Structure 1
Amino acid sequence: MLTENLPPLNYQENGVAQGYTTELVQAVLKQADVQADIQFMPWVRAYQQALSQPNTLIFSVTRTPERETQFEWIGPVSPRLIYLYKLRSRNDIVVKTLADCTRYRIGAVREMASTKAFAKEAGLTEAQMELAPSVESNFRKFLLGRADLVISQDWSAAFMMKSLQRKPDELEPVLLLEQSHQYFLALNKQSDPALVQKLKQAFEKVQQSGLPEKLRNKYMR
Structure 2
Amino acid sequence: MPWIRSHITALLATLLVATYAAATEPPLSLRAVTAENNEPFNIVFNGKLQGLGVDVANEAARRSGFSLQTEALPWARALETARQKPDVLLFTVARTPEREDWFHWIGPIAKREVWLWRLRTRKDVMATSLDQAKQYRVGTSHNDAATEYLLAQGFEQGLNLDITMHDRAIGYKLLASRVDLVPMNPLSIGAFARESGIPLEDLEPQMLLISSGGYYLALNRLSKAETVAKLNAALVEMKADGSLQRLLEKWQPKGSKARSPSSPP
TM-score by length of 2: 0.76
Cα distance change, pair 97–206 in 1 and its aligned pair in 2 (3 A): closer
**Does the 8 Å contact 1:55/1:190 carry over to 2?**
yes
Aligned to 2:98, what secondary structure does the other structure show? coil
Q: Which residue in the other structure is 1:168 paired with?
A: 200
Shift in Å at residue 131 of structure 1?
1.2
Q: Which residue in the other structure is 1:152 paired with?
A: 184
Cα distance change, pair 124–164 in 1 and its aligned pair in 2 (3 A): closer
Q: State which of 170, 174, 185 in structure 2 corresponds to 1:138.
A: 170
Cα distance change, pair 170–195 in 1 and its aligned pair in 2 (3 A): same
Q: Which residue in the other structure is 2:229 paired with?
A: 197
**Does the 8 Å contact 1:85/1:173 carry over to 2?**
yes
1:170 is matched by which residue type in structure 2? Answer: D
Shift in Å at residue 28 of structure 1?
1.1
Cα distance change, pair 134–40 in 1 and its aligned pair in 2 (3 A): farther
Cα distance change, pair 17–209 in 1 and its aligned pair in 2 (3 A): farther
Q: State which of 64, 70, 79 in structure 2 corresponds to 1:38.
A: 70
Q: How far apart are the structure 2 equivalents of 1:97 and 1:184?
A: 27
Q: How far apart are the structure 1 equivalents of 2:99 and 2:220?
A: 11
Shift in Å at residue 79 of structure 1?
0.2
Q: How far apart are the structure 2 equivalents of 1:15 and 1:164?
A: 21
Q: How far apart are the structure 1 equivalents of 2:156 and 2:183?
A: 15
Shift in Å at residue 164 of structure 1?
4.5
Is residue 2:138 matched to residue 1:106? yes
Greater RCO (Cα-Cα under 8 Å, separation 6 or more): 1
Summarize deviations over 1:107-136 as a string: whole Å, max 9, x none: 112122211112322x22233322122444
Summarize deviations over 1:142-167 as a string: whole Å, max 9, x none: 33544221111112112321354532
Is residue 2:215 matched to residue 1:183? yes
Cα distance change, pair 12–23 in 1 and its aligned pair in 2 (3 A): same
**Does the 8 Å contact 1:11/1:17 carry over to 2?**
yes
Q: Which residue in the other structure is 2:61 paired with?
A: 29
4+ residue segments displaced more than 4 Å: none
Aligned to 2:66, what secondary structure does the other structure show? coil
| Uncovered stretches (5+) of structure 1, i.e. residues with no partner | none
TM-score by length of 1: 0.90
| Uncovered stretches (5+) of structure 2, i.e. residues with no partner | 1-31, 254-265
Aligned to 2:67, what secondary structure does the other structure show? coil
